[in-house]
Chain A
Amino acid sequence: MSRPDVVDAAYLVAAVLFVLGLKSLARPRTASRGNLLGASAMFVAIMATLLDRAIVDVRVLLSGLVVGAAIGVVLALRVRMTAMPQLVALFNGFGGGASVLVALASFVEMVDLGQVDNRSSVSAVLTALIGAVTLTGSMVAFAKLQEVGGLRGFPGLATVRAVAAIVAVVAAVMVVARPEDVGWLWALVAAGAVLGVLGTLAIGGADMPVVIALLNSCSGVAASTAGFVLDNPLLIIAGSLVGASGLILTQIMCRSMNRSLVNVVFGSLSAGGAPDADDVYGDRVTATSAEEVAMLLEVAERVVIVPGYGLAVAQAQHAVRDLMRTLGNQGTEVTFGIHPVAGRMPGHMNVLLAEAEIDYEFLLDMDQVNPTFPQTDVTIVIGANDVVNPSARTDPDSPIAGMPILDVDGSRTVVVIKRSLSPGFAGIPNPLFANDGTLLLFGDGKDAVLDIVAALLAG
């Protein structure tokens, strides 16, 4: 076999390994193997590429690999599980950015050599646009997840976005019409970068899981279109696999919020139909204490814990594990009810609770846990709000009307652990808090849970 044949054969092996890897990643028992298969595929691809005849000087390339690997290892080993959404967003942006640069570099080279045709310019246009949106969109998502302040929409955002979109279209047309003027491609990257920022700036925290999944899909598509520029089959295959799987995840997230993708990206939740908080709460909110909750739990046979983003903020996952074990020791059955969009990325709560060594058998999806609430003695809601708001079921004018929620109000008693009565990300009051069967335990999620555990052990 000649050298190019060896490279192509290795790419075929890598493509097969990627497919098997993704397939295994989607099943609990094989997920770890899937990750290893994916990593091996990447290793094979990298080794094969080193044989590529186009590479004449490996010094720059190898130093890039070393620097990148060092940064990647440090970031991956240091990150806390609570910061996982940020890290995924960051890596995602890097992938998109790399695709843009690859497209730029090879397009510049093709222009110099006079090899540009419509196919390469159209592919370069798509890569530059999608990759730039992914890069800056992910960076804004990263900053928002890091709780960097001041990142929100501003009046006239839609106008600026429209202008940037027009610039992008003009630049795209010019790249195809006059590829020798490379400046247009840079202009397109700039316009895409602006669009990425503006597209994510106004998106609320509750929509983050959708955005992260969508950006994940985009980084795959950008790699795939870069494959069209480079005429590289492995980039096309692996990129499209990721693009498709990211799209499925996006769809799952959208369905969990009963919103369309267009609505998440371009619309914003209107606060118009929301009733006034004072009307909803009045003096009907009942506050409770850790001791009182402990007394309820002592006689409970079935307890469901519903975690939300507040659990991650309060770092309460280990305290919750202690609570689960304490209740388990007295013979109480404890499960977790997890809403698909609880937290800031798909599966966020599952990762956090796994970190606290809570077996995933006890983590129930919305469809599994909802029928069990009527047989539940106590439901403890920690740092969740909109996903347990019964307005979604009862009030057709509510901004979250129709969103599937956890029907915690079906259980005998609901204990809500919360700092204050401030609304969730949808910005609407929650009638659950004023229900007769609901008790509010005000305070930090972690401290409150630890107090309950202490009270249980003392009593």
Chain B
Amino acid sequence: MSLLVALTLFVLAVFLGLELITKVPATLHTPLMSGSNAVSGITLIGAMVSAGADHSTLATWLGFVAVVLATVNVVGGFLVTGRMLAMFTSRKSHRSPPDSEARS
């Protein structure tokens, strides 16, 4: 990919991001933040290549730590966002007291 193509992608994606996230209700500020935070864990796919390329011991270990950090970011981020959003939405669907297994 030439530098100009890469810059084009960058600029267009920034504009797209600005357009997508306008007029977000306050209720969604936190889930949006933690959800988009999980998306920024996309750096994981770069980390995977570093960890798996078997280039040098240093690069592999840097890659390994990067994979761990990014995976925590991704898995934890989407999961916790899901938990929050479930609190926002599930109320009407099951008003009945939750069964005891639900929290285990």
To the question of whether A and B form a pair in one complex, the answer is: yes
A residues contacting B by CB (< 8 A) are 18-19, 21-23, 25-28, 31-32, 34-36, 38-39, 41-42, 45-46, 48-50, 52, 54-58, 60-61, 63-65, 67-69, 71-73, 75-77, 79, 81, 84, 87-88, 91-92, 94-95, 97-99, 101-102, 104-106, 108-109, 112, 119, 212-213, 216, 219-220, 222-224, 226-249, 252, 338, 340, 345-348, 350-351, 354-355, 357, 359-360, 363, 365
Residues of A within 8 A of B81 (CB): 35
The answer, among B22, B33, B65, for a CB contact under 8 Å with A212, is: B33
> Once the chains bind, are A105 and B66 in contact (CB under 8 Å)?
yes
A348 touches B42 (CB 8 A): no
| Given A243-B14, A243-B17, A347-B29, 10 new contacts (CB under 8 A) | A22-B35, A55-B52, A68-B71, A73-B76, A101-B47, A105-B50, A345-B30, A346-B30, A347-B28, A347-B31
CA distance A249 to B29 in the complex (A): 8
Give the chain A neighbours of B83 by CB distance below 8 A: 76-77
A61 to B64, CA, bound (A): 6
- Our pick among A65, A79, A244, A355 for the contact of B13 (Cβ within 8 Å) is A244
| Bound form: Cα–Cα A79–B83 in Å | 10
Instruction: Verify A49–B54 contact, CB threshold 8 A.
Output: no
Closest to A11 in B: B45
B1 to chain A, nearest CB (A): 5
CB-defined contacts of B82 to chain A, threshold 8 Å: 32, 35-36, 39
Contact status A245-B20, CB under 8 Å: yes
Q: Which of A38, A64, A229, A350 contacts B30 (CB 8 A)?
A: A350
Contact in complex: B72, A64 (CB < 8 Å): no
Taken together as a complex, chains A and B put the C-alpha atoms of A114 and B26 apart, in Å, by: 50
Tell me whether A101 and B37 are in contact (CB under 8 A). no
With A49-B48, A109-B53, A216-B37 given, is the CB distance from A72 to B74 under 8 Å?
yes
With both chains docked as a complex, state the minimum distance between the C-beta of B8 and any C-beta of chain A, in angstroms. 10
Q: Which of B40-69 contact A (CB under 8 A)?
A: 40-56, 58-60, 62-69
Nearest neighbor of A29 in chain B, beta-carbon distance? B89
Residues of A near B84 (CB, < 8 A) are: 81, 84, 351, 354
- Total B residues in contact with A, Cβ cutoff 8 Å: 80
Please report B residues at the A interface, Cβ cutoff 8 Å: 1, 3, 6, 9-10, 13-18, 20-56, 58-60, 62-89, 91
**CB-defined contacts of B16 to chain A, threshold 8 Å:** 19, 241, 244
Does the CB pair B36–A22 fall under 8 Å? yes
Contact A98 B36 (CB under 8 A): no
In the complex, the answer to whether B35 meets A35 with C-beta atoms within 8 Å is yes
Q: Which residues of A contact B49 (CB under 8 A)?
A: 49, 52, 54-55, 106, 230
Q: Which residues of B contact A238 (CB under 8 A)?
A: 13, 39-40, 42
Partner of A31, one of B28, B33, B58: B28
A46: chain B residues at CB < 8 Å are 44-45, 48
**Chain B residues with CB below 8 A from A60, complex form:** 51-52, 60, 63-64, 67
Q: Are A88 and B30 in contact (CB under 8 A)?
A: yes
- Given A61-B67, A68-B71, residue A91 in contact with residue B38 (CB < 8 A): yes
Q: Are B43 and A223 in contact (CB under 8 A)?
A: yes
Q: What's the least CB distance linking A377 to chain B, in Å?
A: 25
